[in-house]
């Protein structure tokens, strides 16, 4: 992936940095992010949209990996930013991300979060439901502000992906359904709300999608809906946001789309539809998360214990696991890995990579071929840039790893490794109970 290669010493090198040197300097587990790879991906999206002739915004879905340095990088690449909580918003604001390019998502934004975002003056809210619509209008009114919104709609498209990460179907906790009329009703309601400015609509059908058809269908349905709204309610939806979901290659056999192919499919679907009714073309927004950072990330672990159950299975344990990458346990996600310090050696045995948490399900990779590993070897698991650090936990009070950016032989810490002091930082021993 990206700028990775095996160097003269038989070590895995990422962004020109020898991974064994990174381990020496920063310890393990360590998330290594290939900065050039992220930038290249951002540029691929940008160039594909430039070629389409549409006006566009590419919002990095920060949920995939939200830290201040990443917000900075997104800003440098001219991206917008999608946030879904006060924590992500705070991170973006602290990083000085341009507020007018921040979009706020979520199906249950709290009054506090809405107030914070209105006060900051963010670019737009993606309104999910009727409760939020009223609350947002009220809060904006109290502050004499007019806020821009997109309506999140469910187009009734089921993407072929894991159930828990598919969101475009009617029975979803997200958004207003087009099919049952609630999406139109929401727009009619908003027309009469004085502190709301309707910018457009939004749909996100799921994540880790490889088929162009789901994207094309969603684009078409949303475009048809936008055109209908214009005809029936005389409201121009200037923005069509098609969410994220662009899949990446985690393992052999995964076949991601070309970005240009994806952009062509959605832009043409929209162009067709608007052409038929002769309406001016909307702006197209998208929200890639995983595809922006996923394959730019590699996690380095130190190998510890080895357990051979004759005739059954060999377990190789690493110094991390579900606490830094819960995806195998949550979604049965499959990852590839290699020994970073012996990258040229032939595979000799099939092992299962176990984490160190007190839970039998804490496995990172089932049945992978590796050279015969020993205590102290370094395991590199690839494609861990998205939804890994972002979903990391302190289960068993395991400390969250550090994150480094690497580029052209240089490495920089962007998140420090948690300290033991961090672990007890919010704990209190009430005097009433313990004197
Ligand atoms: N926009 C919205 C409204 C979303 O809900 C999401 C992802 C995205 C954009 C970005 O989608 P992406 O390009 O990353 O596929 N934790 C799961 C993924 C959950 C995705 C949630 N929403 C995982 O680890 O696979």
Query: What pTM did the predictor assign?
Result: 0.96
How large is the average pLDDT for residues 220-233?
96
Which atom of ligand 1 is nearest the CA belonging to 126? Answer: 3
Q: Quick: pLDDT tens for 385-426.
A: 999 999 999 999 999 999 999 999 999 999 999 999 999 999
Range of the domain at 10: 5-34+294-424
Which atom of ligand 1 is nearest the CA belonging to 162? Answer: 25
Say if residue 274 is in the same domain as residue 337: no
Say if residue 287 is in the same domain as residue 298: no
Distance 37 CA to ligand 1 centre (A): 20
* Burial (Cβ within 10 Å: 0-12, 13-18, ≥19) of residue 280: exposed
How large is the average pLDDT for residues 5-16?
98
Rounded mean pLDDT of the chain? 96
In this predicted structure, what is the pLDDT of residue 156?
Answer: 82
Distance 219 CA to ligand 1 centre (A): 17
Number of domains the chain is built from: 2
Both tokens of 118, joined, read 């209105």
Instruction: Look at residue 165 and tell me whether its pLDDT is greater than 90.
Output: no
In a domain, 160, yes or no: yes
Binding residues for substrate: 290, 327, 331, 359, 387
Cα-flanking dihedrals φ and ψ of residue 266, to 5°?
Answer: -75, -40
Instruction: Look at residue 161 and tell me whether its pLDDT is greater than 70.
Output: no
Binding residues for pyridoxal 5'-phosphate: 245, 287-290, 387
Question: Which residues lie closer than 8 Å to 192 by C-beta, 6 or more apart?
Answer: none
Q: What interface predicted TM-score (ipTM) does this complex get? A: 0.99
Distance of CA 373 to the CA centre of its chain: 32
Say if residue 197 is in the same domain as residue 100: yes
Q: Quick: pLDDT tens for 122-157.
A: 999 999 999 999 999 999 999 999 999 999 999 887
Which residue's alpha carbon is at the smallest distance from atom 23 of ligand 1?
387
Say if residue 387 is in the same domain as residue 282: no
The rounded percent of the chain whose pLDDT value lies above 90 is 95
Residue of 206, 244, 294 with the most ligand 1 atoms within 8 Å of its CB, for mutation: 244
pLDDT band (50, 70, 90) for residue 168: low
Pairwise CA distance, residues 145 & 124, whole Å: 12
Say if residue 136 is in the same domain as residue 183: yes
Distance 60 CA to ligand 1 centre (A): 11
Say if residue 274 is in the same domain as residue 404: no
Which residue's alpha carbon is at the smallest distance from atom 24 of ligand 1?
387
Question: Which residues lie closer than 8 Å to 87 by C-beta, 6 or more apart?
Answer: 66
pLDDT band (50, 70, 90) for residue 158: low
Instruction: Look at residue 164 and tell me whether its pLDDT is greater than 50.
Output: no
Instruction: Look at residue 56 and tell me whether its pLDDT is greater than 90.
Output: yes
Number of Cβ within a 10 Å radius of residue 258: 11
Say if residue 92 is in the same domain as residue 12: no
Say if residue 29 is in the same domain as residue 39: no
Say if residue 350 is in the same domain as residue 215: no
Which atom of ligand 1 is nearest the CA belonging to 333? Answer: 25
3-state helix, strand and coil shares in percent for the chain, rounded to the nearest 5? 35, 25, 40
Show which of 275, 291, 307 is a domain's final residue: 291
Please say whether the beta carbons of 331 and 400 come within 8 A. Answer: no
Pairwise CA distance, residues 100 & 91, whole Å: 15
CA triplet 37, 43, 44: central angle to 5 degrees?
A: 90
Q: Which of 17, 124, 273, 358 is catalytic?
A: 358
Mark whether 383 is an active-site residue.
no
Among residues 247, 202, 223, the alpha carbon closest in space to that of 107 is found at 202
């Amino acid at each position: 992936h990206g700028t990775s290669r095996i160097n003269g010493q038989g070590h895995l090198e990422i962004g020109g940095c020898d991974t064994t040197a990174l381990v020496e300097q920063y310890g393990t587990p360590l998330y290594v992010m290939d900065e050039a790879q992220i930038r290249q991906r951002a540029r691929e999206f940008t160039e594909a949209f430039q070629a389409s002739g549409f006006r566009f915004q590419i919002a990095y879905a920060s949920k995939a990996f939200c830290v201040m340095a990443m917000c900075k990088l997104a800003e440098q690449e001219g991206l917008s930013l999608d946030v879904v909580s006060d924590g992500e918003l705070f991170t973006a604001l602290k990083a000085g991300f341009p507020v007018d390019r921040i979009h706020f998502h979520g199906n249950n934004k709290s009054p506090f979060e809405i107030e914070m975002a209105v006060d900051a003056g963010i670019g737009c809210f993606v309104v999910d439901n009727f409760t939020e619509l009223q609350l947002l209008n009220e809060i904006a009114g109290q502050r004499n502000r007019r806020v821009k919104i997109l309506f999140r709609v469910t187009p009734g498209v089921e993407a072929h992906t894991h159930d828990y990460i598919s969101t475009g179907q009617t029975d979803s906790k997200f958004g207003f359904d087009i099919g049952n009329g609630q999406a139109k009703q929401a727009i009619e309601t908003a027309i009469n709300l004085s502190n709301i400015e309707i910018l457009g609509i939004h749909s996100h059908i799921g994540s880790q999608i490889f088929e162009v058809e789901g994207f094309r269908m969603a684009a078409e349905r949303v475009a048809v809906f936008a055109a209908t709204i214009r005809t029936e309610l005389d409201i121009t939806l200037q923005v069509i946001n098609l969410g994220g979901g662009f899949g990446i290659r985690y393992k052999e056999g995964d076949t991601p789309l070309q970005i240009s192919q994806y952009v062509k499919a959605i832009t043409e679907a929209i162009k067709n539809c608007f052409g038929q009714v002769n309406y001016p073309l909307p702006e197209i927004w998208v929200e890639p998360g995983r595809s922006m950072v996923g394959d730019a990330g590699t996690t380095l672990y130190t190998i510890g214990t080895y357990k051979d159950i004759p005739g059954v299975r060999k377990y190789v344990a690493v110094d991390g696991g579900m606490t830094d990458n819960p995806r195998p346990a949550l979604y049965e996600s499959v990852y590839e890995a290699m020994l970073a310090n012996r990258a040229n050696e032939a595979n000799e045995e099939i092992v299962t990579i176990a984490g160190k948490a007190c839970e039998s399900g804490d496995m990172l990779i089932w049945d992978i071929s590796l050279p015969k590993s020993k205590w102290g070897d370094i395991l590199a698991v690839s494609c861990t840039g998205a939804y890994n650090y972002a979903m990391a936990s302190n289960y068993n009070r395991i400390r969250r790893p550090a994150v480094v950016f690497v580029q052209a032989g240089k490495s920089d810490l962007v998140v420090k490794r948690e300290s033991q002091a961090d672990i007890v930082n919010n704990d209190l021993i009430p005097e009433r109970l313990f004197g």
